[in-house]
Each structure stands twice: as structure tokens, then as C-alpha cells.
């Protein structure tokens, strides 16, 4: 029987937060990557029971279990700072950074300049129309796509989630921030949608953009990071 380790949510309170010095060694560049999983290697994780105060019951694990890490490295597309579009690119960047700061209050995150050092990549791009199995294509202003990779860093192979987050710049400032807040929640493991429009991870947003994580968002995050996960651990 394989033993997997969990990182209790308490650790999040002890790890570097906003305003503290970044540790360059925490985000080494990827030396090589290859797709995961192998055929027939999917995890079997039962759905969580519905409880009051969070939405754990809607969260879905990946084929390799809960895709969470003890430390996240995040790359955000920089502005070009050239031409008339520079002002709008800076506005987009400021909105994304405000959303990222919300998550950084509760998770160990580090910004990196090299995409090869990141597990989460945030791009300034409107997602292509989504084509469901049935029905008409749907447009959206944000999307997060999860890929499972075996990644070699500093000579050690580990299972990692790699998430590409697309956030459209074709929105007003508050809406860009709300979109980024929601999609980053997926990137950090909340693969599901809350039924409550007051939550950042709501399936259907309310009238006003949600710019702050709710108590239900944080309770769901605490539950998630208390679950066993083999992501980030050395592969056998």
C-alpha cells in the first residue's frame, strides 16, 4: 500500500506570506517534464459529504488525487510597455496582482519571472469559445486548464500540477480582478463551483464582482489543504 502525506493547513500560517523575502531556491527551473498519468493510474477518491459553511462536496480531484502543493510558483505575463495598449496592459496586470494578493494571504505563493519555474501561468488572453459536447459554443472571460506532469527540478522527479490561466483584458478593472480571483482559485486546487453567488468560486456570479474571498471560500480551502496529496513529493 502506498503511503501519501498531507500538508496540514496549519503549515500555511508558517510559510512566507506577502511582504516577506522570496526564496529563489523554492522555485527552481524545470529540467524536463513528461505527461502524467500512465494508463490505468487514476486515483479513486470518494466525493466529500456536504457540510454547512463550505462547498467541499463540489470539489473534484484530478486523476492523481488532490492537485495541491506546499509551495506555489506563479508566473504572470508582463506588459509590453510599448504603444497605446501599454496603459490597458498595466491595468490588467494591476487587477491580476490584486487578485493574487488575496490568495497570497492564505497560501504560500511566489512570483517568478521565468515560466519554467512556475506551476501556474497567468496569460493576458481571452479564452477561445468553449465547445460543450452538446449545445452551442460558450464565450467566457476566464479559464483555467489543468495538466498533470512528472517534472524534474534539481535532479528530482516530482508529480506537479501545471495550470494555464487565461484572463481576458477586454473587461473593466473590477471584472478583471474578479475573473482572476476565480480562475486562480481553480489553479490552487479548488476545482469546482460554489452555488453561492457571494463566493469567489461561484458558478454564476452575482450583480457585483466578488473581489474578496468569502468565509466559505476559505473554509473550503482549509479542508482541501488538509487532504492527503502526493503532488510535490518525489516520485519512486
Say whether pLDDT at 108 is over 60: yes
pLDDT at 27: 95
Residue 63: phi, psi to the nearest 5?
-65, -20
User: What is the DSSP secondary-structure string of 181-219?
Assistant: HHHHHHHTT--S-BS-TTSTTBSS--SSPP-S--HHHHH
pLDDT at 114: 97
Report pTM.
0.86
Cα 99 → chain centroid: 12
CATH 3.40.390 assigned to 61-127+139-189: yes
pLDDT in tens, 188-227: 999 999 999 999 999 888 889 999 999 999 999 999 999 9
Sequence-distant (≥ 6) Cβ neighbours of residue 194 within 8 angstroms: 55, 58, 201, 202, 203, 216, 217, 220
Q: Give the mean model confidence (pLDDT) for residues 143-163.
A: 97
Alpha carbon distance 57, 60 (integer Å): 8
Say whether pLDDT at 18 is over 70: no
Q: Indicate the average pLDDT of the chain.
A: 87
Q: Give the mean model confidence (pLDDT) for residues 102-109.
A: 97
Task: Output the nine-digit C-alpha cell for 81.
Answer: 510597455
Amino acid at each position: 500500500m502506498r503511503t501519501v502525506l498531507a500538508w496540514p493547513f496549519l503549515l500555511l500560517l508558517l510559510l512566507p506570506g506577502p511582504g516577506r523575502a522570496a526564496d529563489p531556491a523554492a522555485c527552481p527551473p524545470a529540467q524536463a517534464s513528461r505527461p502524467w498519468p500512465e494508463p490505468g493510474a487514476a486515483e479513486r477518491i470518494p466525493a466529500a459529504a456536504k457540510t454547512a459553511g463550505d462547498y467541499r462536496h463540489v470539489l473534484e480531484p484530478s486523476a492523481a488525487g488532490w492537485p495541491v502543493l506546499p509551495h506555489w510558483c506563479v508566473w504572470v505575463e508582463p506588459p509590453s510597455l510599448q504603444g497605446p495598449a501599454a496603459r490597458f496592459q498595466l491595468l490588467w496586470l494591476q487587477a491580476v496582482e490584486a487578485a493574487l494578493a488575496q490568495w497570497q494571504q492564505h497560501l504560500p505563493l511566489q512570483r517568478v519571472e521565468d515560466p519554467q519555474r512556475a506551476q501556474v501561468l497567468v496569460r493576458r488572453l481571452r479564452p477561445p469559445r468553449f465547445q460543450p459536447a452538446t449545445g452551442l459554443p460558450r464565450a467566457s472571460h476566464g479559464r483555467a486548464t489543468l495538466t498533470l506532469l512528472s517534472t524534474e527540478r534539481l535532479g528530482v522527479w516530482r508529480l506537479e500540477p501545471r495550470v494555464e490561466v487565461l484572463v481576458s483584458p477586454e473587461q473593466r478593472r473590477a471584472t478583471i480582478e474578479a475573473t482572476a480571483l476565480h480562475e486562480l482559485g481553480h489553479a490552487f486546487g479548488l476545482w469546482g463551483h460554489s452555488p453561492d453567488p457571494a463566493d469567489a468560486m461561484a458558478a454564476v456570479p452575482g450583480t457585483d464582482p466578488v473581489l474578496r474571498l468569502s468565509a466559505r471560500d476559505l473554509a473550503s480551502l482549509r479542508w482541501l489543504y488538509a487532504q492527503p496529496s502526493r503532488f510535490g513529493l518525489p516520485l519512486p
